[in-house]
Structure 1
Amino acid sequence: MSLESALAPDAVPALNVTDPSFSITSTEVHDARERSWYATTPYGFAVLRYDEVGHLLKHRNLRQGSGAWPALNGVTEGPFARWWASWILHKEGADHNRLRRLMNPAFSSKVIAPLAPRFQNLAAELVEGFQHGESCEFLSEFAEPYAARVLAIMLGLPEDEYPVIVRESNTLALALGVSMRNDMPKIESALSNLYAYADAVIADRRAQPRADFVSALTNATLPEDGRLSDIELRDAMVMLILGGYDTTHRQLGLAMQTFSRHLDQWDLLRERPELGSRAVEEVMRVNPTVRWVTREVLEDFTFQGLDLLAGTTIHLYTEAAGTDPRSFDNSFDITVERQPHFGFGGGAHHCLGHFVARSDMSEALTLLARRLRGIRILPGQSWLPDSGNTGPVRLPIGFTLSD
């Protein structure tokens, strides 16, 4: 069956995700979810309901769908193309399993949990730096330095060099945009600079191992898998810098947006800091920075009456799934234990750094709730498009600073 014939039923909604005004969290998308578990888009199919997203994330006939992004933009060779292809996210089968087995121990709670007090102290330091006591530009004054310095702590880089991580990560993130090809000289320069940082840290830990994250990564070895090479290590470390910085600082911004609409929950988090981890999960359920997870069909198969052909792209809508009334009520409540959200993906490609992100965001939100009362979004905000990966670019917030 052709793609066109699969789309024939009039009941199947169509979403024009290429329209600049399209919003993945819009009433249009939520109404489409009530009509059908999937929709058609210029990019392929969009899956809108919780159960179907959960099943397809783990389906054996689907693979991670973002590996072809550089080639789609005319970038098929050079340092960036090689680095992109090296990501564990873009590996399948034995290659993926080997890298994941070797890298998993470095991302374990045993390694990350001892860093929690440093994350909390960092959050407190940044809040103390708010100069006016009634407002701040949340991205530049808190979220960006917090996410970048967390990475510096983990990677053993000097914390006062965090602006380098911000600058180079923001430049490298241009690769996620449609102007990638034109931006490639800047992107590859940023990649080279981050490689230099990674190489220096790897050499240091090879010579003088410590009880830290990078040492655990550099010394990872298994009899059946050998060890990570220096090239694999630096590729992974730069991937961590980009992924950890970009998603964390924007997710923190989205958290402030969400809590500004639910001040009763913000007050509750101040009164019950033990709910910090639950707060992260609830925010990521209803307002994730990763708005969709991409998969590609490996072999033809039929799912709930829909024929899916090899090569077809499928976008699994995380926000639509996380707010699906078939699986969740319409409340935002950090005291409720919910079914898992899909903000970290799922299946074989579930985010390797999810524990890091959960830990540092939990510490940040708990401290922010204690110190900032009555948070509100002020004029002057700007946002990335509400599709793919999204979040604030600029987020002025008002508050009352408390002890």
Structure 2
Amino acid sequence: MTAQNIEDRDYFTDEEILNEPREYFRHCLARSPVYAVPGRDYLMVTGFQECIEVVRNPRDFSSIFCFSPYGAGLPLPFEPEGDDISEQIEACRTPDDLLVSYDGDFHSANRAILNRLFTPSRLKANEAFMYEQAGSLLTGLVSRGSCEVINDFALPFATGVIADLLGIPDGDRELFMEVIAASPPIGSKVDPDDVKTLVPHFGYMSDFFERYIRDRRANPAPDVLHELATATYPDGSTPELMEIVKLAMFMFVGGRGSSSKFLATCLYFLADLPDVQQQLRKNGKLIPAFIEEVLRLQGTTKATFRLARRNTTIGNVEVPAGTKVVVAFEAANRDPQQWDNPDEFQLNRPGVRQHVAFGRGTHTCAGAPLARMEAGVVIGRFLEHCSGVTLDPKVHGEPGNRIMQFESSYIARGLQGVHLLLSP
């Protein structure tokens, strides 16, 4: 990719960018932290402070196209009229909208339900299950001496944890894993002739989750699905059944998919940085700092999306109502104005928790505490079970010249395979 041809590249459809966007992000940031890509109908926001400015301003920026049949990379389904298009935006709402697409009071009410579920006490109670689950999976892998992390460990582990937390029956877990595995990655290349939901497997799972919620309302159980089934909004009103069903499915898919991606990324860095691995073996208290630096360098979300609902600004750039905005979290987390040597892994980097891997503001990832706890448990268990964790050079090449493949997605950041050699 050259500086001269950037105006010919489209973030949403270019396969090279979908697989590896960093060079594209660097080109955009070098021009402006708020860059109007020539020939495109969106702003690319790559600056750290500018990204935070957007996501902390739900008054001026709508989240409607984060998950939508229209998609952030497709033309608007209406012609913006006037200085405030809030009414036009709300007219585009569909039954497929999810929590991450909600705005205003409706978002706050649904988010309040979710926030009550990821409490420190609940996560602490689930930690013992995580510990046993990780150990059980690792025993066979270590005796074998190798594994492909995503399929052999991360997906079974993350699925088991979120399914146990929710209370999903064992038999259904396998069905869901098969259906999700057969679906394209969330945020695959935009096709203007094929407008559909970003999560096609939701349609399959909907009947299952509706049955779970109805059952929990009739037969209480000590799990999150029961708490969801009986939840009320802060004003005391009862959510519609399908809102609870969508929340439950969103938790399961996010807890399974995003968590497994991040676990695989953590283990990749652990294997690729032997000096850091040794430091963690000597001092387990450094594991949280390791996790935060991995999140900064390679979180599971490349970008989120906003639509300007009224005339506003980002930094000193004027943004008319109806402007689509790509908020590039991965670029912001490597902004040299915010981080010294931003592409370098630094254990105990000053201020590392300021990263935006989990977003910021009202749409900060509700599952962030769960993801951090899972990563801490998993890294600790790998270090306990293995005297050495290394990348398989036959698959990934030698240090300094690694071969890694990523999912083709304009939303998610995830490795397609991590092959490890495990020494007992």
* TM bucket, shorter chain: 0.7 to 0.9
Instruction: Work out whether residues 53 and 321 of structure 1, in 8 Å CA contact, stay in contact via their aligned partners in 2.
Output: yes
Q: Write the mapping of 1:331-342 to structure 2, written as runs, cut at 5 A.
A: 331-336=344-349, 337-342=351-356
Q: Write the mapping of 1:148-187 to structure 2, written as runs, cut at 5 A.
A: 148-159=159-170, 161-171=172-182, 176-178=187-189
1:328 to 2:339 alignment: yes
Cα distance between partner residues in 2 of 1:315 and 1:192:
27
| 1:239 aligns with one of 250, 255, 274 | 250
Q: Write the mapping of 1:52-131 to structure 2, written as runs, cut at 5 A.
A: 52-59=50-57, 60-67=59-66, 69-72=68-71, 82-85=94-97, 87-130=98-141
CA RMSD of aligned residues (A): 3.2
CA deviation after TM superposition for structure 1 residue 200, in Å: 3.2
Question: Are the structure 2 counterparts of residues 278 and 220 from structure 1 closer, same or farther at C-alpha, using a change threshold of 3 Å?
Answer: farther
Instruction: Work out whether residues 33 and 47 of structure 2, in 8 Å CA contact, stay in contact via their aligned partners in 1.
Output: yes
Cα distance between partner residues in 1 of 2:229 and 2:293:
34
Q: Write the mapping of 1:262-281 to structure 2, written as runs, cut at 5 A.
A: 262-281=273-292
Question: Are the structure 2 counterparts of residues 204 and 341 from structure 1 closer, same or farther at C-alpha, using a change threshold of 3 Å?
Answer: same
Cα distance between partner residues in 1 of 2:190 and 2:313:
35
Matched residue, 2:34? 38
SS at match of 2:306: strand
Question: Are the structure 2 counterparts of residues 219 and 261 from structure 1 closer, same or farther at C-alpha, using a change threshold of 3 Å?
Answer: same
Cα distance between partner residues in 2 of 1:230 and 1:237:
11
CA deviation after TM superposition for structure 1 residue 32, in Å: 4.2
Greater Cα shift, 45-54 or 257-266: 257-266
Matched residue, 1:4? none
SS at match of 1:145: helix
Cα distance between partner residues in 2 of 1:362 and 1:329:
26
Cα distance between partner residues in 1 of 2:56 and 2:197:
37
Question: Are the structure 2 counterparts of residues 170 and 82 from structure 1 closer, same or farther at C-alpha, using a change threshold of 3 Å?
Answer: farther
Instruction: Work out whether residues 70 and 195 of structure 2, in 8 Å CA contact, stay in contact via their aligned partners in 1.
Output: no
Instruction: Work out whether residues 281 and 383 of structure 2, in 8 Å CA contact, stay in contact via their aligned partners in 1.
Output: yes
Matched residue, 1:371? 385
Cα distance between partner residues in 2 of 1:230 and 1:143:
31
Q: What do residues 298-332 of structure 1 show as CA deviations (whole Å, max 9, x unaligned)?
A: 11123333121222111122122112222222342
Between the two proteins, the alignment pairs up a number of residues equal to: 384
Greater Cα shift, 298-307 or 222-231: 222-231
SS at match of 2:132: helix
1:362 to 2:376 alignment: yes
CA deviation after TM superposition for structure 1 residue 283, in Å: 0.9
SS at match of 2:69: helix
List gaps (5 residues or longer) in structure 2: 78-92, 397-403
Cα distance between partner residues in 1 of 2:392 and 2:32:
35
SS at match of 2:266: helix
SS at match of 2:65: coil
CA deviation after TM superposition for structure 1 residue 48, in Å: 1.6
CA deviation after TM superposition for structure 1 residue 224, in Å: 1.3
Matched residue, 2:223? 212
CA deviation after TM superposition for structure 1 residue 35, in Å: 4.3
Question: Are the structure 2 counterparts of residues 268 and 96 from structure 1 closer, same or farther at C-alpha, using a change threshold of 3 Å?
Answer: same
Greater Cα shift, 126-135 or 88-97: 126-135
Cα distance between partner residues in 2 of 1:245 and 1:15:
36
| 1:255 aligns with one of 244, 266, 286 | 266
SS at match of 1:315: strand
- Work out the percentage of aligned pairs sharing the same amino acid: 20
Q: Write the mapping of 1:296-315 to structure 2, written as runs, cut at 5 A.
A: 296-315=307-326
List gaps (5 residues or longer) in structure 1: 1-9
Question: Are the structure 2 counterparts of residues 38 and 130 from structure 1 closer, same or farther at C-alpha, using a change threshold of 3 Å?
Answer: same
Instruction: Work out whether residues 112 and 234 of structure 2, in 8 Å CA contact, stay in contact via their aligned partners in 1.
Output: no
Give the AA of the match of 1:374.
V
Instruction: Work out whether residues 292 and 317 of structure 1, in 8 Å CA contact, stay in contact via their aligned partners in 2.
Output: yes
Question: Are the structure 2 counterparts of residues 223 and 395 from structure 1 closer, same or farther at C-alpha, using a change threshold of 3 Å?
Answer: closer
Matched residue, 1:21? 16
Greater Cα shift, 202-211 or 55-64: 202-211
Question: Are the structure 2 counterparts of residues 196 and 267 from structure 1 closer, same or farther at C-alpha, using a change threshold of 3 Å?
Answer: farther
1:230 to 2:225 alignment: no
Question: Are the structure 2 counterparts of residues 260 and 186 from structure 1 closer, same or farther at C-alpha, using a change threshold of 3 Å?
Answer: closer
Instruction: Work out whether residues 107 and 355 of structure 1, in 8 Å CA contact, stay in contact via their aligned partners in 2.
Output: yes
Matched residue, 1:349? 363
Pick the structure with more strand per residue: 1
CA deviation after TM superposition for structure 1 residue 153, in Å: 0.5
Greater Cα shift, 337-346 or 134-143: 337-346
Instruction: Work out whether residues 69 and 198 of structure 2, in 8 Å CA contact, stay in contact via their aligned partners in 1.
Output: no
Matched residue, 1:3? none
Instruction: Work out whether residues 309 and 322 of structure 2, in 8 Å CA contact, stay in contact via their aligned partners in 1.
Output: yes
CA deviation after TM superposition for structure 1 residue 142, in Å: 0.6
CA deviation after TM superposition for structure 1 residue 289, in Å: 1.7
Question: Are the structure 2 counterparts of residues 182 and 225 from structure 1 closer, same or farther at C-alpha, using a change threshold of 3 Å?
Answer: same
Q: Write the mapping of 1:140-151 to structure 2, written as runs, cut at 5 A.
A: 140-151=151-162
Question: Are the structure 2 counterparts of residues 252 and 129 from structure 1 closer, same or farther at C-alpha, using a change threshold of 3 Å?
Answer: same
Instruction: Work out whether residues 392 and 420 of structure 2, in 8 Å CA contact, stay in contact via their aligned partners in 1.
Output: yes
TM-score (normalised: structure 2): 0.80
